[in-house]
Structure 1
Amino acid sequence: MGDQVDGVVAAWDVELPGVLGIELELGKRAGSVYARLNEAASRVLGKLKLTKAEFDVLAVLRASGKPYRLKPTELAARLWLSSGGTSNVLRRLTEAELISRAADEEDARSSWVQLTRQGVQVAEEAVRLTAEAQQQLLKAVPEHTSRAAADALREVLLALEARD
């Protein structure tokens, strides 16, 4: 029994034999798993009236530990966002009073982004609810299979990062 990707691979093998291989399978399968996990999280985030980008900022700030603050450049780097994209998200979160912004007293060119008390609560609720939704989705997958997939993807990423 195969998955949807097997059909795509088979079709390309007929059209361009030997051209596409494991790179197609890896990309399509990793993308499909990501999309399904992201969809489960997005349903929850919609109920919380948060976008994925807003959630990501809140989650990174919460995971940073007390006092739950980072510089915008650190946030952008951790989230793989452009500075313009980060600025838009930070503006919306400031308006929603989930984060505050303050000048860096040691560097006048920089500032801090920090979760407000409400921001900490929303971040924790969002993380819990998205984790539950994704765990529910993965219940159909044996735990050892999920662990093996995560470990294998780590090895792939480490090999790719070593090339950079």
Structure 2
Amino acid sequence: MRKHDLNPTEFEVLMILRTEAEGKPMTPSMLYDALVISSGGMTQVLRSLEEKGLVTRPDGAEDKRSRPVAITEAGVALGDVALRQVEAEERRAFAETGLTRKELDTLLSLLVRYDGML
């Protein structure tokens, strides 16, 4: 992610806007609820992403916390590239564990199950 000037939280915001929101705008409060981040932290992340041209936040609302956030085409493109690189790195890291394919499948299913419990 550093290669693309993204921190992990910025990357997660792009992925949420790209996948969960299916390209539709979300409010900052929806994003910080999804990421379990403070509203102040989300404000910094959104400001950074907007400065990089990866999200837009139309003006008009008096309360900046309710201004919708939408991913830009540049955000989609960068998010896709970064995601492919993250996935490749994860595959490489898992391959180095020495676990068998069956063990990796079991680990993945347990992680998915655990994530569903959160």
TM-score bin, normalised by smaller chain: 0.7 to 0.9
* Cα 1:68/1:128, change in 2 over 3 Å: farther
Flag structure 2 segments of 5+ consecutive residues without an equivalent: none
Question: Who is 2:54 aligned against?
Answer: 98
Structure with bigger gyration radius: 1
What is the identity, as a one-letter code, of the residue corresponding to 1:150? L
Matched with 1:67 is 23
Deviation, structure 1 residue 64 = 2.3
**Comparing 62-71 with 83-92, which one deviates more in the overlay?**
62-71
1:143 aligns with 2:101: yes
- Which amino acid letter does the alignment assign opposite residue 132 of structure 1? A
Partner of 2:6: 50
- Please report the TM-score for the alignment, with normalisation by the length of structure 1: 0.61
AA partner of residue 151 (structure 1): S
* Higher strand residue share: 1
Q: Which structure 1 segments of 5+ residues have no match? A: 1-44
Across the aligned residues of Structure 1 and Structure 2, the Cα RMSD in angstroms comes to 2.3
Partner-residue secondary structure (3-state), 1:112: coil
1:52 counterpart letter in structure 2:
P
User: Alpha-carbon deviation of 1:154?
Assistant: 4.7
* Alpha-carbon displacement from aligned partner over 1:87-127 (angstroms, at most 9, x marks no partner): 0000001011110012588xx65221011111110111111
Aligned pairs (5 A) from 1:105-120:
109=63, 110-120=66-76
TM-score, structure 2 normalization = 0.81
Q: Which residue of 2 aligns with 1:85?
A: 41
Once the two structures are aligned, what percentage of the paired residues are identical?
26
CA distance in structure 2 between the partners assigned to 1:59 and 1:78 by the alignment:
11
